[in-house]
Structure 1
Amino acid sequence: MRLDFEDADVIQLEGRELAPAKAVAEDGSYLRMIAREAVTDIEEKFADRLEINRDLTRSLVSFQANKAEPFYRWFKYREGFSKPLIEYIIDHANVAGTANVLDPFAGTGATCFVANERGLAATAIELLPVGSNFIRLRQAISGVEPAEISRWLHEIIEDRPWERTNGRVSFSHLRITRDAFGPETDDALARYRFWVSGQPQPKKQFCDFLSYSILEEISYTRKDGQYLRWDHRSLRAGFGSFSILTIPCGSACEHAD
């Protein structure tokens, strides 16, 4: 099924003339209607091959189910699979024994980590730094006792050692992230990163992960689809800005637990 309208006088759907291209360009609602009709046509064409699976709830097929899972809930990766979903697929596909699981778009590695927990070999491929960093972190701390990780968190949350340092490790902002933090938060984040730089591995890797896992929460921005929304207090606020009720300025890692 194909909609032809680029450089055309009329919109065509599989050879059928639907509407003048100029009218569609001026009224996006008409194009949306055509798209809905196209989806309906496809559903009717393949109705005998489609099956509704009531087991696949909204929570299961999104990140929401990970909120109750240790490790998997550490990093809010909205585009990722949930652990329960991968377990469901492995169980219902009877994947076992010497099977090798390949995830070419691994995200934060949920599929492969679940496979490993089930005793399966797994290979993850991920190009984006956000996902690959979390995968490396989980590998690095796989042999660390939970009590040790708790001690690291206690030091960060209760002792706040970075506040006693004079050094700072700032980062070069991209154009899209410039002015994303208030001055106090930006300074606290730079101090924290300086303190992290002097820690031994894998503690250093873990503490560094904490800082980038809360960047959105401590910023003037919120992700909205493919766009960033800016709080009205930021220097970037403009049309469509909004208000974040509380921003933990000067407390860059307060919510790390």
Structure 2
Amino acid sequence: MIQVPSPPSTGIAFKPLDSVSRSFLDRIEAQDAKLKQQFETRLSVAPFLNRQLVSFQANKTRSSYRWFKYKEAFSAALVEELLQNRGVLNGHILDPFAGSGTALFAASALGIDATGIELLPIGVEIMHARQLLRCEFTSDDFAALERWRLVQPWRNSPVRCTLGVLKITDGAYPPETLESIERYLTAITDESPHVQTVLRFALLCILENVSYTRKDGQYLRWDARSGRRQGVKPFNKGVILDFDGAITAKLSDIICDTHTFEEQIGLFDTEQSNVTTGQLNVLQGSCLQELQRLPSNLFDVVLTSPPYCNRYDYTRTYALELALLGVTGDALIALRQEMLSCTVENRSKSLLEINPDWQAPVEAANGQMLLQAILEHLDNQKERKLINNTGIPRMVKGYFYEMACVVFECLRVLKPGAPLFMVNDNVRYAGASVSADLILSDIAEKLGFRVPLITVLQQGKGNSSQQMGEHGRKALRKCIYVWEKPQ
């Protein structure tokens, strides 16, 4: 049986369980053990995998990928490693949760056509700006960026436009920074559309660093200097960057990286100078809507990382960027509901109304015994008022039922024999370890995928302090699922 090293002990004492909770958890553990035995020979710890590869960390030094800190991304090096090991050197790749476009741009740089689906406007804007810089920017456009870097025309802008504000972003910037942002946004309107897009993108890249906020999973944390209070202990994010210095440094990075992009190929030793860049296409919308519109048997590989079932709300953590892009409060709420269910505010989706052909994935989720045991436990915890948020049972159910439909559609759009790679984390709620790797792989098999391998990161991740306080610490697997559509 595969063993993932446990995180070090924290010394936190945990509460004893009542007999009802213990009974539910025993049933979950029994179902989990049974499913783990089913996949035992296919669970494999991979020495090459580390947290840098499966997160944004390895992108911090990569040209182009380092511009915008999209913390939820995996690395370009991981994409290259997976495609190289599989021998995928051409064809067409799909990422149904494109995010900032790491899989698309890394594959395209290798000559593979790439299609991505992304709901959030911030991800679409990042990909649009990068594509402009890569394919459509002229020497005159670059000269305009250089002029902005050197002359800083916003400093002399006589007019300030009004920056859009959401309730959760009000007061996010020091007054002098807000003034600079508004003058900057006014000044860019004198430039060509392409230059405007890239200048706006550069601004998006620095918003967090010049604000009182820091992205922190489920929400924005506010520095005490903002005047907002969160929790008992005041939070200090450290240095808040000066606007002029931050934006000119970002423009320098963009100008420098774009000129050297073709030299930044990654892990391959083969000569890349003759590789033709693959076409790149981004579909904006929910993957539940967009996937079903794609033709069957179209793609040579799916490589993706869905939102984890961890309550992280991207509409909150990227609120600064969404506000700058003109997203209103009502639009933000609508985006949150369109997302794959991964936050406690997500309402249930009527999947069979979206697509009556999804009866098979819904039934596969209905018949997944570990999932059903977990859902019964969470519902029981909710009924007895023992769960810390009553939206958790609905979120967990929505997540796996919606993911079953995504898996079903991925199988349909892949060519026979084509692989799917999925990066995902296991989670824990109310003391129950939720083995997303086993649950989703079992559903995938029932829908028709082969599951030759579940690659496990050597170092297991821990769980929240609240979970540790109530249920003790337990290592949770972080995995890359490797599935194949049969020939």
Fold equivalence (TM over 0.5):
yes
SS of aligned partner of 2:227: coil
Deviation sequence 1:79-117 (CA, Å, 0-9, x none)? 1121110001111111134x2111110111111122222
Distance 1:149 1:200, change over 3 A: closer
1:186 aligns with 2:197: no
> Which of 155, 165, 168 is residue 160 of structure 2 equivalent to?
168
Give the corresponding residue for 2:122: 130
Aligned partners of 1:230 and 1:236 also within 8 Å: yes
- The structural deviation recorded for 1:176 is 0.7
Task: Provide the residue aligned with 2:93 in structure 1.
Answer: 101
Report how far residue 156 of structure 1 moved: 2.8
Q: How big is the shift at 1:68?
A: 2.0
**1:44, CA displacement in angstroms?**
5.9
Q: Which residue of 2 aligns with 1:51?
A: 44
> Given the alignment, which residue of 44, 53, 58 partners 1:65?
58
Which AA in structure 2 matches 1:55? Answer: F
Q: TM-score, normalised by structure 2?
A: 0.44
- Structure-2 residue corresponding to 1:241: 234
Show the counterpart of 2:462. none
Give me the whole-angstrom Cα distance separating, in 2, the residues matched to 1:236 and 1:14. 40
1:120 aligns with 2:112: yes
Give per-residue Cα distances to partners, 1:94-144, cap 9 Å, x unaligned: 1134x2111110111111122222211221111111111011112222235
The Cα offsets for residues 11-46 of structure 1, whole Å up to 9 and x where unpaired, read as: 233775xxxxxxxxxxxxxxxxx98x9877765664
Q: State the distance in 1 between where 2:147 and 2:31 align.
A: 57
More displaced 10-residue stretch of structure 1: 63-72 or 235-244: 235-244
CA RMSD of aligned residues (A): 2.8
Distance change in 2, residues 1:117/1:54 (3 Å):
same
Q: Tell me, yes or no, if the aligned pair for 2:141 and 2:194 is still in contact at 8 Å.
A: no
Cα deviation, residue 254, structure 1 = 4.0
Q: Measure the CA separation in 1 of the matches of 2:140 and 2:239.
A: 31
Bigger share in helix? 2
Distance 2:55 2:24 in 1: 33
User: 2:190 is matched with which residue?
Assistant: 198
Q: Larger deviation: 242-251 or 199-208? A: 242-251
Unaligned runs of 5+ in 1: 1-7, 17-33
Query: Is the CA contact (8 Å cut-off) linking 2:210 and 2:243 kept in structure 1?
Result: no
1:223 aligned partner:
215
Residues paired across the two proteins, number: 231
In 2, distance between residues paired with 1:246 and 1:14?
45
Whole-angstrom CA distance in 2 between matches of 1:57 and 1:244:
27
| Corresponding residue for residue 134 of structure 2 | 142
SS in 2 for 1:122: strand
Does residue 255 in structure 1 map to residue 249 in structure 2?
yes
Select 1:10's aligned residue among 15, 20, 39: 20
Match of 2:75 in 1: 82
- The SS at the match of 1:68 is coil
Three-state SS of the structure 2 residue aligned to 1:194 is helix
- Structure 1, residues 135-161: CA drift from partner, whole Å, max 9, x if none? 111222223569767644443333111
Q: What does residue range 33-44 of structure 1 map to in structure 2 within 5 Å?
A: 43=36
Cα distance, 1:100–1:221 mapped onto 2, change above 3 Å: same
Partner residue in 1 for 2:147: 155
Q: Residues 142, 176 of structure 1: CA spacing in aligned structure 2 closer, same or farther, 3 A cutoff?
A: same
C-alpha change, 1:50 and 1:146, in structure 2 (3 Å) is farther
Compared with structure 1, are the counterparts of its residues 93 and 10 closer, same or farther at alpha carbon in structure 2 (3 Å cutoff)?
same
> RCO greater where, 1 or 2, for CA within 8 Å and sep 6 or more?
2
Pair 107,250 (structure 1): closer, same or farther in 2 beyond 3 Å: closer
Give 1:59 shift: 1.0
| Cα distance, 1:224–1:218 mapped onto 2, change above 3 Å | same
> Cα offset for 1:178?
0.5
Instruction: Give identity over the alignment, percent.
Output: 36
C-alpha change, 1:174 and 1:9, in structure 2 (3 Å) is farther
Q: Which moved more, 1:105-114 or 1:139-148?
A: 139-148
Contact 2:153 2:187 in 1 (8 A): yes
Corresponding residue number in structure 2 for 1:31: none
